Chain A
Amino acid sequence: TVTDAANNLPILGASVVVKGTSNGTATDFDGKYSLNNIPQGATLVFSYLGFATQEIEYTGQTIINAILDEDASQLDAIVLIGYGSTTKENVTAAQTTVSDDEFNTGAIVSAGQQLAGKAAGVQVVAASGSPGDGPVIRVRAGSTLSASQDPLYVVDGVPLDQGNANLNSLNPNDIESYTILKDASATAIYGNRASNGVVLITTKKGQLNSDWAVSYDAQFGVNRNFNQVDVLTADELRALATERGEDLSLLGDASTDWQNEIYQTGTTGIHNLSISKGWESTSLRLGLGQTNQAGTLIGSDYSRSTLNLALTQRALDNKLKLTYTAQGALENRGFADGGAIGSAIVFDPTRPVRSTDPNSSINGFFEFFNGGTPEVNAPANPVGLLESLDSQNDNHQIRMNLNANYKLPVDGLVFDGNAGFDYNEFDSFSIRTANSRAGFFDNGSRSFSYGLRRNTLLNGRLDYKKFLEAIDTDFEATVGSSYQDFTRETFSRNTIDGSFSDSNGDPIPLRFFPGDNRLVSFFGRLSFDIKDLIVLSGSISRDGSSRFSPEERFGTFGGASAAIKLTNLDFVQNSSFISQLKLRGGYGVTGQQEIGPDFAFIQVFTPGQLQSSIQLGDTFLPTIRPEGAQDLKWEETAQYNVGIDLGFFDDRLTGSVDAYYRETSDLLQFAPIAAGGLENFVLQNVGDTESRGLEIGVNAKLVRSENFNWNIGGNLTFNEIEITNLAGPNNNPVAVGGISGGVGNNIQEWAVGSDPSSFHVYRQVYDQNGNPLDGVFVDVNGDNVINEADRVRYKKANPDAYYGFTSNLNYKEFFMSFTLRGSAGLYNYNNVDSNSATFENIFNNPGNYYTNSTTDVLESQFTDPQLFSDYYVRKADFLKLDNATIGYTFLGDKVDIRTSITGTNLFTITDYDGLDPEVSGGIDNNLYPRSRTVVLGLGFTLK
């Protein structure tokens, strides 16, 4: 019998040939074959499209079974779907698979970064340049307002904790592919966790019957910031002070470029070793990785050691396949004081870094003083901030899964089950020395926290597959259930006045923050492939979550989709230029249970901390606060998707176009409620959004030959989202988007008819020369008073469109690739400018000191802060060369050596005048710069 290693099912039509002869046959529907006249010692060759060829020596056996593994090089023929797999041609929904040969290369530290720019409808943005900061991934721009927008990640069958997925614990080098399920008909089987899309991550495994394979590769990178916030130099500040007649005695005589002082050239070192071997019924792969990074902000670093193990064992006459996968990671992250970034912009450049004058320094760093103590409102010396803080987080993570796939005695019936466990313990501390400006008033500070997170999974399903000859239909059915428990525990303790005991000498209690929730799911799917022409698929999922009250706990979700494989019709088969044509359509309803609190539906009382006690009579009483309960239910998203897959010229040119329309209702919104209860803001199921998008992906094999291959790919996504309903009978708008400058100020607003990232600003009035007039705004409602009522919604942070363009080229052993990525139609609010660049900000400080500002003050000439002016809402369209690699592989007898040089973040084309146009959420303020990296790579593969 010849069976498929992935699902244990027999393979129909596999070829079995005696090597070097024409003696051969093909397997029947049960995967069985028979072959005669085989000489002793001959070799049987088993092959099938999409699978690795296997050779088995004939030594007189009467039965020779072969189990074929999917061939990685043709992986695109088999694709994962939720709880199962299918062939690419039978996919009915919008989904994209990105495999390791397409990944971005270079010093990739975080899983997910390999995907940036690769798939339509998927945005991958490095949150910042801080080492250890994982990327932000959005599938079809999340649909929610207050709930999580992260997709569900499923690693080798184990759904990660949506609240804390920590993709960094996965070594990118061990990842074989990502499959992104975008539309609801594909994700609906994950029911209440599926609204933001699902990303299926597959790690690399060994192949059966393969030789020892050993490879080692190393990458060494240097990363530098290539851009600075444009601030006034010491001389420019002096000139400005002189010109305006300010008090020159408040300036110093140094010339310090504070941004130079806090940044350095960072380094990255990555080492990966992998070993794999396959025997007749066992395969093994072991991956070891070590990553060390020093960030550009002095004191920020990240190190990680990873272990990835995949073990496959077949037993019981190949009816049982056990796959054990484990990923372990030891992470250490060092945090530099991010406050130094903002401080370096506003700290007076006429002041020195160091000073020995005891009246203007702490621990050797210059600081502003007033009457023997530091100026409490003045910025702290940026270098002093960095040097006085030691803050680290250690994380130990182990994730494992045991998968059992058992072919039951009934024809076509297979059981597949997973027992998964994802566990991490973390330990972090933050110590501020007392002998520092930041630690001066509270005698230094120390805080510690530690805890664990545990994710336990048990699931099982039955797959049944049958060919219904009478109606020429392949029928597949799946039913299953899943149980998953999430436990989180954090313990923390902080000092008061530098001490772990309070004013009475009593120890400060260790605080305990647990989190518990549990999910159960029952799911099923039916699919029909009728006459190899029409594919119909439908799934349903009944899900329960402990986060909701018993009445609202369960919800039913589902989806249906269809595809017409026009490829199989004669007009395509006979066409000289169309090689592939498929139409798809689907509809699905999914939910969202990642709402934040675990027990919103239970009324609780929160005790007050000792520092918020109330004195009644002679005693200080800790308070007990009653809180209301909210009976919440699922956020529900209904999504329609239509798509077309095309191939031309023997698939030299392929492409997909998908369009979707999505409505999210019962939106979980943290919003105000009518006054009178124990909260004025609560999470509530109010509000709807509507979004729509168009996604286009194209791949072209420009050159295809033995020595020379050149592939290019492009994708383009249009996306828009609009709020259609909000809390209250009159759709109450909600202020969001907190900014720096003043306290409690917001710059964005949720309102019906608008994108949720819309800015809410005054309309600036300009003079005839186009210069903004200080404090003059359009009186929108014409009541002769400029106040809140004159703020309008103007532009938005979400892009209208984003796109990626990729090229991969190899000529003999030479290879070259690059990825371009861009966004259009987006705006940022430049909070760096608005919070520093006015004359008042520079010269009218709460104390005897001046501060610096960005050079924008010379443009705007603003005297007073105008935080809400649309002057600061700036166009942020960009095009970035994310990644470019060139390399050469030296082929040897015993070892191949692959060498490469990669540059990341090589250039950005933009009109945006801030540090970086790419700002999550659209409020540009003190971003840890994303640096430019040059990486040398060296890889050895033993033969």
Chain B
Amino acid sequence: CQETLDLEPRGEELTAGDILKDPDSYPGLIAKVYGGLIVGGQEGGDGNADINGIDGGFSNYLRLFWYHQELSSDEALIAWNDGTIKDFQRQTWNDGNEFIRGMYSRINYQIALCNDFLRNTSEASLDSNGIPESARGLIREYREEARFLRAYSYYHGMDLFGSMPFQDENTDPNVPGQLITRAELFNFVESELLAVESTIVPARQNGYGRADQATVWMTLAKIYLNAEVYTGTARYTDVVDYTSRVINAGYSVDTNAPYTNLFLADNNSNGSQNEFIWTLNYDGQRTQTFGGTTFLTHAPVGGDMNPSNFGINGGWFGIRTTPQFVAKFPGEENSADGREQFFTNNQTKQIADESQFGQGFAIAKFKNVDVNGNQGSDATGDFVDIDFPVYRLADAYLMYAEAVVRGGGGSQAQAVNYINILRQRAYGNNGSNITASQLTLPFILDERARELFWEAHRRQDLIRFNQFTTNYTWAWKGNVQTGTTTPAFRNLYPIPAEQLNLNDNLVQNPGY
């Protein structure tokens, strides 16, 4: 009667045999590895979510990452009452915060997806599943990308949490991972990136949305730029080296096109794509999530903002910005800088009540319309088409300039030139160009804010300039309206208590 109990699933799920023996499955498998960064689950609108313990839409990688990098900074605050979400803008989070737990789970899940892909695509695995040589070329390309994507998520873990539980394709995912410290993680991420640098598809030769050599360079440049934070050892020369490779790869910033084109529904085709090094791609009909750019478009719309101008059916009355960020623009809400996107009708600059959308200037950056103002592809107005630029050339310019100023070598004239390309686009003329003497570290930090706000860089930048916790305050930081400094231990997020309970190898960050 043992056999009587041998049943086989016969639903949509497929067994390992069905999948791994079929060469046509592998594109779907790598799509999931990318998809782990882009959507929350297997159904439109984050249904059948990958991770649990948090709402499917909230579990979206990009949305969680954005909370951690932006809500905790001077660039954004939110009105909602979703659990502990206001702890970000107040910098009062603790190790029970469900969004921090969600981020930690999401990063580790993403690493597990990469590891699983690497296991399933080893030559031995392909042999045992009878995958013909003719199909392996593409699979090997994917494999390099999966290895990059794993390093990319470990880099996020290193940046947000410091240490991580370590898993790779050779460890048993059912056994809690060993601790890998921040410094060890740095070495691991660096070595992985250096390993795939020469084996991944060359810069600008891969399909849109797929990682290539320039994506690897950009990630290397990021870890080198922040190396002093991660390891105590500065690596600015390497920043100059790797940003130069990116800059010379053929990307371009169109100084004649408005800055706002970069964040429109057609940013994959309106010229902006020439500046993009790597994007997370969204589509209103085929890539539907309540995270990603759908969140970035809906959540900041409210008050007197007309949703149809944003190509959506309604705002979510959530995100605004602080007066301190407004002050980064000369002339504030009336700045001649074309990157200033404040919406001020019926919005106060000061924020007495965090929960009132009308308090704090709104920001109109992401718009689900094309250059002609037509709404994106989802007629319901729920989901958007905007691709999210993880890395774009402007960031490489700014990183190059910063590394030059910090003594990493390179050319100061070139650095000034790069900054001025961005400013020419911002002002529509060269009247606001800077000179070499204006190229200072404080200027670069502010310029990064003006150019890259809400693109999930701010917390990392503020920490590198030692302004995230101590030294600089903004509205509601420290849970005080005028803002107050916070202890430096908050430069790292806590390891979630849940994971400390489940994995005795982990060590809580100091201060928590």
Contacts and interface: CB of A to CB of B under 8 A. Distances in A.
Please determine whether chains A and B interact with each other in the same assembly: yes
Interface of A: 370-373, 375-377, 441-443, 483, 496-497, 502-503, 511-514, 516-518, 520, 544-546, 550, 553, 598-599, 602-618, 620-628, 670, 672-681, 727-732, 735, 741-745, 785-789, 791, 840, 844-847, 864-865, 867
Contacts of A628: 173-174
If over half of B's interface residues share one DSSP class (helix, strand or loop), that class is named, otherwise mixed; here it is loop
A896 B480 CA distance: 80
Interface in B355-389: 355-357, 377, 379-382
A609 B167 CA distance: 29
Nearest to A628: B173
B87 A512 contact: no
Contacts of B356: 844
A846 B302 contact: yes
Contacts, number: 322
18 contacts: A443-B380, A497-B379, A599-B13, A603-B15, A607-B14, A610-B286, A611-B45, A611-B288, A615-B287, A616-B31, A616-B34, A620-B283, A621-B27, A621-B28, A623-B29, A678-B113, A679-B52, A730-B501
B165 A676 contact: yes
Given A373-B308, A620-B287, A520 B4 contact: yes
Given A443-B380, A607-B28, A680-B108, A623 B35 contact: yes
Contacts of B382: 441-442
Contact of B29 (A615, A626, A728, A745): A626
A785 B92 contact: yes
B285 A502 contact: yes
Interface string B1-38: 11011110111111110110000010111111011001
Interface stretch (B93-101, B230-238, B256-264, B406-414): B93-101
B502 A742 contact: no
Given A373-B308, A598-B7, A786-B92, 8 more contacts: A502-B285, A514-B9, A608-B43, A621-B28, A624-B25, A624-B29, A731-B501, A743-B82
Contacts of B307: 370-371, 373, 376
Contacts of A598: 7, 9
B6 A613 contact: no
Interface residues of B, number: 110
Contacts of B165: 674-676
Interface stretch (B188-196, B202-210, B465-473): B202-210
Contact of B52 (A372, A621, A681, A840): A681
A595 to B, nearest CB: 15
Contacts of A608: 28, 31-32, 35, 42-43
Given A615-B208, A732-B501, A606 B42 contact: yes
B465 to A, nearest CB: 25
B314 interface: yes
B449 interface: no
B5 A623 contact: no
A680 B113 CA distance: 12
B83 interface: yes
B317 interface: yes
Contacts of B177: 674-676
Contacts of A673: 502
Interface stretch (B53-61, B67-75, B124-132, B215-223): B53-61
A744 B502 contact: no
B109 interface: yes
A606 B5 contact: no
B345 to A, nearest CB: 13
A87 B28 CA distance: 64
Interface of B: 1-2, 4-7, 9-16, 18-19, 25, 27-32, 34-35, 38-39, 41-48, 50-55, 57-58, 80-85, 87, 92-98, 104-105, 108-109, 111-113, 116, 120, 165, 167, 171, 173-174, 176-177, 206-210, 281, 283, 285-289, 302, 306-308, 313-317, 355-357, 377, 379-382, 479, 498-504
Nearest to A626: B116
Contacts of A376: 307, 313-315, 381
A502 to B, nearest CB: 7
A676 B30 contact: no
Contact of A612 (B16, B58, B97, B288): B288
A483 B5 CA distance: 10
Contacts of B208: 615-618
A865 B80 CA distance: 10
Given A611-B45, A618-B207, A735-B53, A676 B112 contact: yes
Contacts of A373: 307-308, 313-314
B129 to A, nearest CB: 13
B15 A602 contact: yes
A207 B31 CA distance: 68
Given A518-B7, A607-B14, A614 B39 contact: yes
Nearest to B87: A787
Give the 3 A-B residue pairs with the shortest CB-CB distance, closest first.
Answer: A617-B207, A376-B314, A611-B44
B176 A674 contact: yes
Contacts of B34: 614, 616
A453 to B, nearest CB: 15
Contact of B53 (A377, A680, A787): A680
B11 A512 contact: yes
B41 to A, nearest CB: 7
A333 B13 CA distance: 31
A443 B498 CA distance: 43
B502 A516 contact: no
Contact of B314 (A442, A679, A728, A847): A847
Contacts of B108: 675-676, 680
A496 B377 CA distance: 13
Contacts of A603: 15-16
